[in-house]
Chains A and B, each alone.
With several copies, the nearest count.
Chain A
Amino acid sequence: MWTWFHKLGSPPWMYRISGRILAILLPLTVAMLVVGAVWGLLYAPMDFKQGNSFRIIYFHVPASVVALAGYYVMAIAGAVSLIWRMKMAEVAMKCAAPVGAALTFLSLLSGAIWGKPTWGTYWVWDARITSMLILFFLYLGVIVLYQAYENKEAAGKACAVLSLVGMVNIPIIYKSVDWWYSLHQPATIKFTEESTMHSSMLQPLLLMILAFYCLFTCALLLNMRSELLRRGVGTSWVRALAVN
């Protein structure tokens, strides 16, 4: 077990393995995205009340779901880096932040675009929307803090602490926002919460969600590889790579 753990900590090994994983996962992801998108955008039946505008759901919902999961990945990586002083975990944490933030932004953006046809406005303060926005802030906080530190080793530690604090808070935040929203039954259109979607709409959605999970993994790994190279400049294994 420990040898494995040790391996996980070594950049060259990680670089090699991630390379192998990506070789398989990347094409798979692309395939799933294409299939899901075509299926959802072209073949899935049109929503009777929203028309075609609802098809954006095939990007919006996966983005939203994976964005949240991404934060936990980041925070747990941070915890590992703090507890076992494991460089690799720190790299993972650092690299997860921008990916997660991007997905969050995609969710916000797609949602906003979706909002125009459905609610006639780009933005409403719905519970899910609001908590998504807050999640976006949490991501930004980690990214900006990392940038603000001159010394990247310190930056890593600081961000690890911050993301842990954030992880403790996320459930509280989500609960509180839900409560807040239920408190003021607002006059706005509500999400059709437990959506009674026809399975022919649901299947491509599930596929897209799976695809987005893979997408997150790929982006994370790619990000980590470049970071590893950046940090490893001058070390033997990077030189070895450069040679061949």
Chain B
Amino acid sequence: MSLPTPSLAAFLSASLRRQLLLAYRRPVDTINPLLFFLLVVTLFPLGIGPDPAQLAEFAPGILWIVALLASLMAAEGMFRQDYEDGSLEQLLLSPQPLYLASLTYSFAHWLVTGVPLTLLSPLFATMLQLPVAALPVLLASMALGTAILSLVGSIGAALTVSLKRGGMLISLIIVPLYIPVLIFAAGAVRFAAEGFDPAPQLLLLAGMLSLSVALAPFAISAGLRISVDAG
């Protein structure tokens, strides 16, 4: 079946714009992860006691765990709407390459959840007494890490979207895959906080990012095809 492929670039930018527009029309999706982040960061002192020294020591870990959960929650509903209203069917039928289309989904998801998290993380970090010296590294690790999380999260979302109320099954699928990100990212921040050189971990993160940019879309498109077929 041979179909003429219309301008790819135009399609990709349009699809990106569409996702961002939808996110803008539904700000709750953007705000909730931040809100959630804020909430949990405030819960921690309540939960584990307010001693600044302790908080400072665990700030990197806590920040990253919460970031991970936030983007996990955001990932869950990523394709749900498009699946239920049939947009996904139309996407699969369109002559455009699904590989790139699914990449735009992850990218939009990152712009809408990852970037705000990254930008606000210094605020949360100071709430947790993270030394100021570590903030640049925190920002870098957040930017890289959340991008990976978005890509990996999309895989889980694509595989589970057709399951009626598949719900948090996604967490089981992708949290294990998140773990390396958590370890290296939190490690980088900790190193920075303790005055060591975090470059190696950041490089590792960059490597993992490029790996997932290259491979994740295959898994995502496969997952989407299966889901639409099974639905």
Interface residues of A (CB under 8 A from B): 82, 121-126, 130, 133-134, 137-138, 140-141, 144-145, 147-151, 154, 157-158, 161-162, 164-166, 168-169, 172-173, 175-177, 179-181, 183-184, 186-188
Please, how many angstroms separate the alpha-carbon atoms of A185 and B182 in the complex?
Answer: 18
B225 to chain A minimum Cβ distance, whole angstroms, is 8
- CB within 8 A of B50: which of A166, A169, A179, A188? A188
Measured between beta carbons, the chain A residues less than 8 angstroms from B176 are 134, 137-138, 141, 166, 169, 173
CB <8 Å contact, A148 and B172: no
CB <8 Å contact, B51 and A187: yes
CB <8 Å contact, B177 and A166: yes
Measured between beta carbons, the chain B residues less than 8 angstroms from A149 are 163, 230
* Given A149-B163, A154-B230: A169 touches B177 (CB 8 Å cut-off): yes
In the complex, whether B222 has a CB less than 8 A from a CB of chain A is yes
CB <8 Å contact, B179 and A134: yes
* Given A149-B230, A169-B176, A177-B179: A137 touches B50 (CB 8 Å cut-off): no
CB <8 Å contact, B129 and A121: yes
CB <8 Å contact, A169 and B180: yes
Measured between beta carbons, the chain B residues less than 8 angstroms from A125 are 45-46, 50, 52, 55
B46 to chain A minimum Cβ distance, whole angstroms, is 6
Measured between beta carbons, the chain A residues less than 8 angstroms from B127 are 123
Measured between beta carbons, the chain A residues less than 8 angstroms from B45 are 125, 130
Please, how many angstroms separate the alpha-carbon atoms of A179 and B129 in the complex?
Answer: 23
CB <8 Å contact, A168 and B215: yes
CB <8 Å contact, B126 and A124: no
CB <8 Å contact, A186 and B49: yes
Within 8 A of A (CB), among B43-93: 45-46, 49-53, 55
Measured between beta carbons, the chain A residues less than 8 angstroms from B39 are 137
- CB within 8 A of B187: which of A82, A126, A183? A183
- CB within 8 A of A154: which of B49, B51, B226? B226
CB nearest neighbor in A for B225: A157
CB nearest neighbor in B for A178: B183
B211 to chain A minimum Cβ distance, whole angstroms, is 8
Please, how many angstroms separate the alpha-carbon atoms of A172 and B219 in the complex?
Answer: 18
- CB within 8 A of B229: which of A124, A145, A154? A154
A126 to chain B minimum Cβ distance, whole angstroms, is 7
CB <8 Å contact, B126 and A148: no
CB <8 Å contact, A187 and B53: yes
A83 to chain B minimum Cβ distance, whole angstroms, is 12
Measured between beta carbons, the chain A residues less than 8 angstroms from B126 are 122-123
